[in-house]
Chain A
Amino acid sequence: MKSLGSIRRSFAPWADPAAKPYILFENVTKKFGDFVAVDDLSLSLFEREFFALLGASGCGKSTLLRMLAGFEEPTSGRILLDGQDLRGIPPYRRPVNMMFQSYALFPHMTVEQNIAFGLKQDGMPKPEIAERVGAMLKLVKLEPFARRKPHQLSGGQRQRVALARSLAKRPKVLLLDEPLGALDKKLREETQFELMDLQQELGLTFIVVTHDQEEAMTMADRIAIMDRGTVKQVATPAEIYEAPNSRFVADFVGSVNLFEGQVSSAGNGAMTIASNGFAIRSANGSEAGTGSTVWFAIRPEKIRVASRKPVGAEANAIEGEVYDIAYLGDMTIYHIRLDDGRIVKASTMNSARVSEDVLTWNDRAWISFDRDAGVVLTA
């Protein structure tokens, strides 16, 4: 496999066995009555990392964050921050700050007072508070709104105040609970990049909880995919997308075609999978032995669609019928129905304005993909 590394080239402490984790979850379990919110979870995070917890609602990602902030105590297991066990330390003594999903701005205080709140609590001298608040307002570009009350601000401005307030104390770790959830799409995209720049600039560790995969993919150095209180995979966005370790992860992030089949031959890291009469040759193997059931996962954009059978023995190819077409402008998504009834999703970038090979509904069509275009999954 070629490089599926971090976007920030030089930053990959998780790949270094000598690197010391900054935050460590050790066999953490959290139960609410009979409900297990977090189930024997272990996870290590590194300093200056932008880490995303991604999962559907109720998967335990917020609970994990709240345990780190100190609002919940683990039922069992322990959480270490910079080598210190956090058990029993109340939220107001932890060197982490949280940006709340609802922003939780104090309605009876001005923007300035909101940002200064934590600093005053620490007994910082007044001139220093004023200076820090000024710097924070500048950072989030809210200087003209210093004297406003939260209800006099727009959603995006409130989000910035919440961010400035949680950053004002220069926490070692900033926890962000669905930080962009309440913003509209355009603002959300802008703010994603702003958050990334801010994290780089301040050199802080960010942990963001989100259910929006695009948000996680855009911002994070690494993503943990969570499901029912457990972590399914922890990896860089590229690894998560291109080398998912299970059908759950492959299906959760982006769109995927899964071909179920049996290993007919394996060797040299490659294997051939018999999938209902379609022999898929894969350059990426797995430990699965001959005869065992596996899934060949391939993303729609890695499948080519053509009206004629492609030449060349390298490619896997099978014929079907165009079942549905969605034209999105920049790309077209085809649903091809194979002769055994399976639907395959394929997407093509519309890189030329006029295509020579025009396909339409009910046309016979060939799909093809390279041997290394997909991954073999055993779970």
Chain B
Amino acid sequence: MADLLAPATETASASARARPGMARMIRNALLGRMVIVVPYLWLLVFFLVPFLIVFKISLSTTAIAMPPYTPTFGFEDGISGLIAKFGEMSLDNYVWLTEDALYFNAYVSSIVIAAVSTMITLIVGFPVAYGMARAPASLRPTLLMLVILPFWTSFLIRVYAWIGILKPEGLLNQFLLFVGIIDEPLIILNTHTAIFIGIVYSYLPFMVLPLYSSLEKMDYSLIEAAQDLGCPPITAFWKITFPLALPGVLAGCLLVFIPAVGEFVIPDLLGGSQTLMIGKTLWNEFFNNRDWPVSSAVAVILLLILVVPIMLFQQAQARAQEKGR
């Protein structure tokens, strides 16, 4: 191409020579764009579209039909039909959520249970991560393996196993009775305690791993320097170790808190019928009441409750990074 257009002037020929390079640049730029497009496409198809469907259902009304709500969109509607159907949608389900105290209580109780569990997980996970990070380098891969090992068994089975441990005639009570610490079995199963145990147990790896990664990076001579400058070990921990592990603490807490709020399996299996958690409420609306629109509204609100703090956190982190630079 460049040869056919070969112009007389020197500058023009220079630009002609540059053309194949330009084409490569454009190709590379497109390729680079593609690499970014793929994950966005993935998120669009498997996250945003399903969310929009859920959101649409949350604006619908229950109906004895298949699917159990109305209106349903179809290609045969035409534009005018579509507009008419949009008119049928309303925020009634969201209003309903505010009218029945059940939902508000379920949200609050979920957040409280998740927050308490996250705190316990942090308190249990920090020493574990610290111990791992301070272990001899040759031992660390093994310890990491041990933290990840539970994932090799189904989550559901592991939660079921806790029933066997916690029930009145279960392993824990039998052991405590045998040792003589207690005279009659403790009632743990079907209480909040059981939920805490279940969540802490199940989500501990999600706390330990980010904590470990931030603690392992830390130079131990910083602790020695702090002690050298007059810090007893506990003060050194709060002034040096903890602030430097803070990114890991935040990441771990989010990784535990977010799934814990919406947790369904653990409260259902370990918490018994009285526990109020939003995941269970949602399940009841969906399967017992067959009220897809209300359960969709519950899900949308849950998402909002979780997305807002995450966005605030990300903003704070971006600002901290900006300041650090």
Asked if B29 is at the interface (CB within 8 A of a chain A CB), the reply is: no
Residue count of chain B within 8 Å CB distance of chain A: 18
In the complex, how many angstroms separate the beta carbon of A306 from the nearest chain B beta carbon? 55
- Whole-angstrom CA separation of A80 from B84 in the bound complex: 93
Asked if B193 is at the interface (CB within 8 A of a chain A CB), the reply is: no
Which residues on B sit within 8 Å (CB–CB) of A108? 243-244
A90 partner, pick from B219, B227, B240, B244, beta carbons under 8 A: B227
Given A106-B240, A108-B244, A149-B324, also A92-B221 (CB < 8 A): no
- Whole-angstrom CA separation of A227 from B271 in the bound complex: 67
**A97 B228 Cβ-Cβ under 8 A:** yes
**A122 B230 Cβ-Cβ under 8 A:** yes
A residues within 8 Å of B by Cβ? 69-71, 90-93, 96-98, 100-102, 104-108, 117-118, 121-122, 149, 151, 165-166, 169
- Whole-angstrom CA separation of A62 from B243 in the bound complex: 29
B230 partner, pick from A121, A149, A151, beta carbons under 8 A: A121
In the complex, how many angstroms separate the beta carbon of A188 from the nearest chain B beta carbon? 21
**A107 B244 Cβ-Cβ under 8 A:** yes
A92 partner, pick from B227, B239, B240, beta carbons under 8 A: B227
Given A102-B219, A106-B240, A149-B324, also A121-B231 (CB < 8 A): yes
**A104 B230 Cβ-Cβ under 8 A:** no
**B222 A106 Cβ-Cβ under 8 A:** yes
In the complex, how many angstroms separate the beta carbon of A280 from the nearest chain B beta carbon? 50
- Whole-angstrom CA separation of A105 from B228 in the bound complex: 12
Asked if B142 is at the interface (CB within 8 A of a chain A CB), the reply is: no
Which residues on B sit within 8 Å (CB–CB) of A91? 224, 227-228
Asked if B28 is at the interface (CB within 8 A of a chain A CB), the reply is: no
- Whole-angstrom CA separation of A166 from B227 in the bound complex: 12
Given A106-B240, A107-B244, A108-B244, also A100-B230 (CB < 8 A): no
Asked if B265 is at the interface (CB within 8 A of a chain A CB), the reply is: no
- Whole-angstrom CA separation of A243 from B319 in the bound complex: 62
- Whole-angstrom CA separation of A64 from B69 in the bound complex: 79
Nearest A residue to B236 via CB reads A92
**A118 B244 Cβ-Cβ under 8 A:** no
Within 70-93 of B, Cβ neighbours of A (below 8 Å) are at: none
* Per-residue contact bits, chain B 221-242, to A (CB 8 Å; 1 contact, 0 not): 1101111111110010001100
Nearest B residue to A100 via CB reads B221
In the complex, how many angstroms separate the beta carbon of B169 from the nearest chain A beta carbon? 49
- Whole-angstrom CA separation of A148 from B322 in the bound complex: 14
In the complex, how many angstroms separate the beta carbon of A297 from the nearest chain B beta carbon? 39
